[in-house]
Amino acid sequence: MPHTTILGIESSCDDTSAAVIRDGNLLSNVIASQKVHEAFGGVVPELASRAHQQNIIPVVDQALKQAGITKEELSAVAFTRGPGLMGSLMVGTSFAKGFARSLQIPLVEVNHLQGHILAHFVNVEGEEHQNPNFPFLCLLVSGGNSQIVLVRSYKEMEIIGQTIDDAAGEAFDKCAKVMGLPYPGGPVVDRLAKQGNPKAFKFSKPHIPEYNYSFSGLKTSFLYRLRDEIAINPDFIEQNKEDLCASLQATVIDILMDKLRKASKALGVKEVALAGGVSANSGLRAAFEDHAKRYGWKIHIPKFSYTTDNAAMIAITGYYKYQDGQFASMDVTPYSRVVL
Ligand code: KG4
């Protein structure tokens, strides 16, 4: 049997990444993160697309070299079509098109969110790994999304719940900003929360129907509490930073897990996966472990290297689409917003 070798390209936000997957096994996954945004407290779209332009060729070159293959051995080029920043997506899309055309091989478009979910199917030779069994639920939580997805197969995914306003990562980042913490705030809150009391402060939780989420109320309740406390004691944040972070994190996790538990119970699905940038959160990971013990869930927690944007997840999704013969045409264009 000839090999199926897929080059994956990811450029949806501020990470330029290329990966090679051969027959479902990861051979390389190279990521160039952009430091240029740190000074601005958030990703600056124009700077992101310029940095992608600079990074894309060296990153692809390195991915091929690390995989120990030549470009002629590739079966197809898979790329992130969206959602993401338009200028950033255009760089990856244009490169993928040009590369596939020059090699006369198929082009495969990948939905970034599907990629995050299918990252659970990336195998590395010699490493112990268990793919999730279908159907499973996936909690997809990042800076732009908070969704519960019912995954029936590699290509059949249904969003059964999602945020009606802010994403969980945004709640972490915005509350961190109010406390004067650097961007992105999520990892900093996670670190400080380890030294704090999660029950020290109470913040509001949403009451919305179904399996949907809302985080804007929490953000407002956090902001108002700080404003009121600072009026009495100007050093309030500094003196309570750890407790504030621990309480904020515990509230976000409670909100996320309540709906996930409800969905698991109602649908009778006990295989549950975690994906997206916020899946790096240590408290959320611990909550998954706890649910596995308490409710008999079989859980899938991603490796840290797959919590941030990466091309391994694009290459594996491309691999399954390639096997299905789902190719993109050469006039394909990126999209900034999308549902699964
Ligand atoms: O998926 P991702 O890399 O990209 C976006 O969708 O933007 O997710 C980034 C988000 C940011 O909001 C960041 O603060 C959050 O993930 N994040 C975390 C942690 N690590 C990253 N949030 C909480 N705890 C963490 N350890």
Cβ(10) – ligand 1 distance below 6 Å: no
Q: Where are the beta strands (DSSP E) in 60-145?
A: 76-82, 107-111, 136-141
- Shared domain for 147 and 294, answered yes or no, is yes
pLDDT value of residue 337:
86
Is 213 in contact with 146 (CB distance < 8 Å)?
yes
67 and 26, same domain (yes or no):
yes
Which pLDDT does position 174 carry in this prediction?
Answer: 94
| Residue 40, pLDDT score | 80
| Phi/psi at 82 (5° precision) | 165, 175
Indicate the length of the chain as a whole number: 340
Contacts of 25 (CB under 8 A, 6+ apart): 123, 124, 125
**274 CA → ligand 1 middle, Å:** 13
Q: Find the 57 Cα to ligand 1 centroid distance in Å.
A: 26
Q: Assign residue 12 the CATH number of its domain.
A: 3.30.420.40
Same domain, 100 and 194: no
**For atom 24 of ligand 1, which residue has the closest CA?**
281
Pocket lining: 84 vs ligand 1, CB cutoff 6 Å: no
Extract the runs of DSSP E, i.e. beta strands, from 236-294.
Answer: 271-275
Q: What's the confidence (pLDDT) of residue 340?
A: 57
Instruction: Indicate whether residue 276 lines ligand 1 (CB < 6 A).
Output: yes
Same domain, 244 and 140: yes
Residue 244 lies in a domain: yes
Does residue 165 belong to any structural domain of this protein? yes
pLDDT at position 339: 59
Q: Collapsing DSSP states into helix, strand and coil, what is residue 139? A: strand
CA 256 – CA 184 distance, rounded (Å):
20
66 backbone dihedrals φ, ψ, rounded to 5° = -60, -30
Residues 152 and 279 in one domain: yes
Residue 193 and residue 268 share a domain: yes
Q: Same domain, yes or no, for 149 and 293?
A: yes
What is the helix (H) or strand (E) element at residue 268, kind and residue range?
Answer: none
251, 257, 258, 261 alpha-carbon torsion, rounded to 10°:
-170
Please work out whether the CB of residue 283 comes within 6 Å of at least one atom of ligand 1: no
Candidates 278, 279, 307, 314: which one to mutate for ligand 1, based on the most atoms within 8 Å of Cβ?
278
Q: Are residues 119 and 236 in the same domain?
A: no
Q: Could you tell me if the CB of 87 is within 6 A of ligand 1? A: no
Please tell me whether residues 230 and 106 are part of one structural domain.
no
- Same domain assignment for residues 111 and 250: no
**Residue 214 sits in the same domain as residue 260:** yes
Please indicate whether residue 217, judged by its CB atom, sits closer than 6 Å to ligand 1: no
* pLDDT recorded at residue 1: 75
Look at residues 302, 79, 92, 308 and name the one whose alpha carbon lies nearest to residue 184. 308
Examine residue 328 and state whether it is found in any structural domain, yes or no.
no
User: For each of the chain's 340 residues, which pLDDT tens digit applies?
Assistant: 789 999 999 999 999 999 999 999 999 999 998 888 877 877 889 999 999 999 999 999 999 999 999 999 999 999 999 999 999 999 999 999 999 999 999 999 999 999 999 999 999 989 989 999 999 999 999 988 999 999 999 999 999 999 999 999 999 999 999 999 998 899 999 999 999 999 999 999 999 999 999 999 999 999 999 999 999 999 999 999 999 999 999 999 999 999 999 999 999 999 999 999 999 999 999 999 999 999 999 999 999 999 999 999 999 999 999 999 999 999 999 999 875 5
Contacts of 70 (CB under 8 A, 6+ apart): 64
- The total number of structural domains in the chain stands at 2
Amino acid identity, position 251:
T
* Closest CA to ligand 1's atom 1: 277
The distance from CA 50 to its chain's CA centroid, rounded to whole angstroms, is 22
Q: Does ligand 1 lie within 6 Å of residue 308's CB atom?
A: yes
